[in-house]
Amino acid sequence: MTINRMVRIVAGFFVLLSLGLGVEGSPIYQNHNWLWFTAFVGLNLFQSGFTKFCPLDTILKKAGLKETSESC
């Protein structure tokens, strides 16, 4: 698993989870303020597209994940 794929997986999971926690019709609804976390994840993805800085990317590099796939 490459860093790029893992960043997408984690970001997608966080968006879905925070939507589930923040939207009133959801079975796991907690509080509408969880939607701020959704906005944070989206804003971080947006800025990383321009600046190429992503905190999770740095964490995953230190954890030893590969940057690219050798099978390409």
Q: What is residue 2's DSSP assignment?
A: B
Owning domain of residue 9: 3-63
31's CB contacts (< 8 A; 6+ apart) are 21, 22
> Is 24 within the bounds of a domain?
yes
> Is 22 within the bounds of a domain?
yes
Number of separate domains in the chain: 1
> Is 71 within the bounds of a domain?
no
For residue range 4-63, list pLDDT tens digits in order: 999 999 999 999 999 999 999 999 999 999 999 999 999 999 999 999 999 999 999 999
Provide the pLDDT for residue 68. 79
Whether the pLDDT of residue 72 is over 50: the answer is no
Confidence of residue 70 (pLDDT cuts 50, 70, 90): low
> Is 9 within the bounds of a domain?
yes
